[in-house]
């Protein structure tokens, strides 16, 4: 069993409101815990509103996984996370969530 890592996370107020509207807080928590356990170089997690695009009729939730810029894309955690996501949740959840990497270097402050 993988030890849980303590990774700081934030949920913006508008994303929290949308999670409440969707009634999918538990699903989001599962996604965050899975990211904490599986994404290499994870430094923080931000849960934000996904802007409306042509492919989405309503606003959804984006999980931003902040990773160190030294992260190696060939590790493919995004593909692994996506595979887990689509086998763990029904389509009614898929349409409201996505995850993307945010590459950062150094330390804030």
pLDDT of amino acid 56: 53
Span 67-102, pLDDT tens digits: 877 656 666 677 888 899 999 999 999 989 989 888
The rounded distance, in Å, linking the Cα atoms of 32 and 9 is: 9
Residue from 5, 87, 12, 91 nearest 50 by CA: 12
The predicted-structure confidence for 3-42, as pLDDT tens digits, reads as follows: 446 888 899 999 999 999 999 999 999 999 999 988 888 8
d(CA 95, CA 56) in angstroms, rounded, equals: 8
Identify which has the larger pLDDT, 104 or 26: 26
d(CA 70, CA 72): 6
Q: What pLDDT does 104 receive?
A: 79
Identify the burial level of 18 via C-beta atoms within 10 angstroms of its C-beta, where 0-12 means exposed, 13-18 middle and 19 or more buried.
Answer: buried
The structure's pTM equals: 0.81
pLDDT at position 3 is: 44
């Amino acid at each position: 069993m993988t030890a849980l890592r303590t990774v700081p996370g934030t949920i913006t107020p508008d994303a929290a409101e949308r999670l409440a509207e969707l009634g999918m807080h538990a699903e989001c928590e599962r996604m965050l815990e899975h990211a904490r356990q599986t994404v290499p170089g994870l430094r923080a997690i931000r849960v934000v509103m996904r802007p409306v695009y042509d492919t989405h009729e309503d606003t959804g939730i984006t999980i931003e996984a902040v990773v160190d810029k030294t992260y190696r894309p060939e590790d493919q955690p995004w593909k692994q996370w996506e595979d887990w996501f689509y086998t763990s949740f029904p389509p009614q959840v898929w349409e409201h969530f996505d995850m993307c990497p945010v590459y950062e270097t150094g330390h804030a402050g």
